[in-house]
Structure 1
Amino acid sequence: MIIDAHQHLWTAGYAWLQDPALARIRRDYTVADLRAAIRGAGVDRTILVEAGRGDDGETTEFLRIARDTPEIAGVVGWAALTDPALADTIAAHRAGPGGDLLVGIRDQVQAYDDGHLDRADVRAGLAAVAAAGLVNEVVIRAAQLPSLARAAAALPGSTFVLDHLGKPAIAAGALDRWRELITPVAALPNVVAKLSGLVAEADWAAWTPADLAPYVATAVDLFGTGRLMFGSDWPVLEVAGSYTQIKDVLADLLGGVRPDVFGTNAVRTYHLELR
């Protein structure tokens, strides 16, 4: 079974999609669109990740969708890590429709300063997520990787999932600096990383598999294939390619559709009970 550990759904009205550069993906993406995309690529299950709306209603909606969509094996919902009532918010989501499919929490840490994960209230939020038995999913910029290393070291009982390999500046060729920043993160056994979102950091119009290859190879070298997960980042990937193209490129760079990266690591990391 192939599992895509990172996909989204959204409507054209999401605020961040109003950027003119994102016109090609500024439309509604529905479950029907998802099914067409994954079936064409031979993918069986997905993890639905919050899509930047930034409110609890999106998580409630996504859990309901997941309940009614067997292809969606779990939901990483949005919540503010600074919310002192975060534990209650998580409990409320779990008590609602589809609540058993909540597998992680993600705040938009990339929107904050480089030391956001060092704040006491943010650390308390990370601890609340871990205490609920959920994954702390993090979407951050490369410059924020040191703060992730500190947070993960301070909370060894929490599983952290790093989205998009920390968003290396692939188009700018920033391989060496990114490797320096991500190495301490990869040294922590409670961090799992997603091979996702890489084409969005490359030159959308001119990228080639060779542009991604050194970043994928570095991730394998530092994390090992036991702590990496395939994630399409659909439909964001459509700024630069197609679902099947991105999945096949990653498989080629890994020497094939590895059962761990393309499936069992997601099951273990998110404690999935596949339907």
Structure 2
Amino acid sequence: MPELPEMETYKKLLNEKISGNVISHVIVNREKTININVEPFQQQLLNKKVLQVKRRAKHLIFELDSGMNLLLHLMLGGWIYFGNEQDEPDRTKQVILSFPEGNLYFIGLRLGYLHLLNPQQLQGKLSEIGQEPLDPNFTYDSFLQLIASRRGMLKTTLINQSFLAGIGNCYSDEICFQAKLKPTNKFNDLNELQTKNLYHSIITILQSGIQQGGYMDSPFTNNDPLTGGYRTLVYDKEGQPCPRCNTPIILEHVSSKKTFYCRICQL
């Protein structure tokens, strides 16, 4: 599932391609992907300009010059591609938005969605999401306040979107590895050094993921040089040697979530 770095990568590439451009055609192949009937959805998008694309947690927000917003959540298996009829992926497209320079294909939205919302609806939809971990206001002191009453495991807490925005299965494992902490450790058992390491690891790993284009290797365009450059350290590496100590990475299910870590150097 795309997480903060993947969605931040999409945001950057989308703003380069479609910001300031007008939607010239709208195709909806799966009505369950959208939140209103197909005809009014198309009418409210047609000939509207995309002012900019923003990110909030794992969501993308397409701001339109009409004052409305498209809220995208890719969920599991979703991705987007910008191209044309000559290079479009041979996959089912749930929604297609056409622009002067190409088409934006929304693919694999079996669980994901693309909803048209007014500002009040958008605010309500995102109201329970926690702080952005790369926001300048996310300081170590604010992190201490955030975890002051936390008793849960690192894994389950880090992926809780009301705790922090945008972290999921992959980057929670990467963060714990960077901090040399087992994902099954509990927040209230961390000492001061471990807490500082965890805080800095959150920022370091997410920034690294963004700089390297995230871990998902589905390209955004046919000549996309950025997407998928991040190479995970432990996530999805079961049985492979730990980058620090060469001990085989193990897989454990934590609250039904696949969790990868080193049993030797993560304490």
Q: Structure 2 length as normaliser, TM-score?
A: 0.30
Q: Which has the higher strand share?
A: 2
Q: Which has the higher helix share?
A: 1
Question: Bigger radius of gyration, 1 or 2?
Answer: 2
Q: Structure 1 length as normaliser, TM-score?
A: 0.29
